[in-house]
Amino acid sequence: MTGTALVTGGSGYIAGFLIGQLIDNGWTVHTTVRRPEREPEVRGWLNVDNDRLKFFAADLEQDAGWAEAVAGCTHVAHVASPFPLGVPKHADELIVPAREGALRALRFARAAGIRRFVLTSSMAAIAYGHGKGRDLYNEADWTNLANPDVMPYPRSKTVAERAARDWVAAEGGDMEFASVNPAAVFGPLLSDDLSTSIELIKQLLEGKVPMCPDVGFGIIDVRDVADLHYRALTAEGIADERFVCSGPFLKFIDVANILKANLGEQARKVPTKKMPDWLLKLLALVRPELKQVAAELGNVRGGDSGHAMARLGWTMRAPEEAILATAHDLIARGIVKV
């Protein structure tokens, strides 16, 4: 099966690998970027058949460019969504572009007669706001927005996915919709433009994290995230499906130990001690960007990816491979000096 697919957010980490996989499998790809002047740069690091790749300028919060981007396509992967490293002053800074961007992409997709629409959601839309009584979540779970402790990013992903599903149910007609819900994404780099998750490995290697807080995340390789998107775009009969995309849940100290065990002297700055909870809470009082980290102390938010494996025949790499691929590329590119 081949066709023409729109992949939004073409300069992003997941989108880049998905674009490569689609083109390698004979697809033509349209992609969006907010700033059209970035096209030569992005083409350079994607390193694909340029005859099969077209760029369009489009923003999540503006209608301009969307009709042109989706014209002639049969499938859409809506990957673009804001994901900052810090905490915004107001949750709407993330919620509004995430929700409105998804709805805008859906409206233009329906108008263009798109057959299949795959939304990049997140484990953040599944596993938050439930307290510490659980440690494994699946597709039936939703982040509890009634819990005031849910931070802006998981709130934005939950609102956006729910809004998208409600819109499809009411307005989508015969367009098939599915979501892919990744955990923290690591793996090889396409460029020096780092995603938020990659920044975590960078900070560990640079010694900017003096001790490891009692915080963790599910680990998944970007190549496997792209592959699950590809399967969701191309499999038969996946209307209304939702796919958890997560490997094992690892704490900071587990990631640090993997780096230490495999990188030798290159990991000499990586911390080996656990940070006391009280110290992180104290630091969060003076460094607002740490509030989101402190809110996760002691939580385990594992994702059960069994449905994606059974339904789509999907498999994933070991977390060590994803973590070390990130570290090796950060060092090889000179982004981290060791």
Q: Which residues are catalytic?
A: 157
Q: What is the 3-state secondary structure (H, E, C) of the chain?
A: CCCEEEECCCCCHHHHHHHHHHHHCCCEEEEEECCHHHHHHHHHHHCCCHHHEEEEECCCCCCCCHHHHHCCCCEEEECCCCCCCCCCCCCHHHHHHHHHHHHHHHHHHHHCCCCEEEEECCHHHCCCCCCCCCCEECCCCCCCCCCCCCCHHHHHHHHHHHHHHHHHHHHCCCCEEEEEEECEEECCCCCCCCCHHHHHHHHHHCCCCCCECCCEEEEEEHHHHHHHHHHHHHCCCCCCEEEEECCCEEEHHHHHHHHHHHHHHHHCCCCCCECCHHHHHHHHHHCHHHHHHHCCCCCCCEECCHHHHHHHCCCCCCHHHHHHHHHHHHHHCCCCCC
**Which residue has 């000096």 as its token pair?**
337
Kindly give, in sequence order, each residue whose CB lies less than 8 Å from that of residue 118, ignoring residues fewer than 6 positions away.
75, 76, 77, 78, 177, 178, 179, 180, 229, 232, 233
Q: What is the 3-state secondary structure (H, E, C) of 233-248?
A: HHCCCCCCEEEEECCC
Q: Which residues of 121-156 are buried (b: 16+ CB within 10 A; e: fewer)?
A: bbbbbbbbbbeeeeeebbbebbbeeeeeebbbbbbb
> In whole angstroms, how large is the CA radius of gyration of the chain?
19
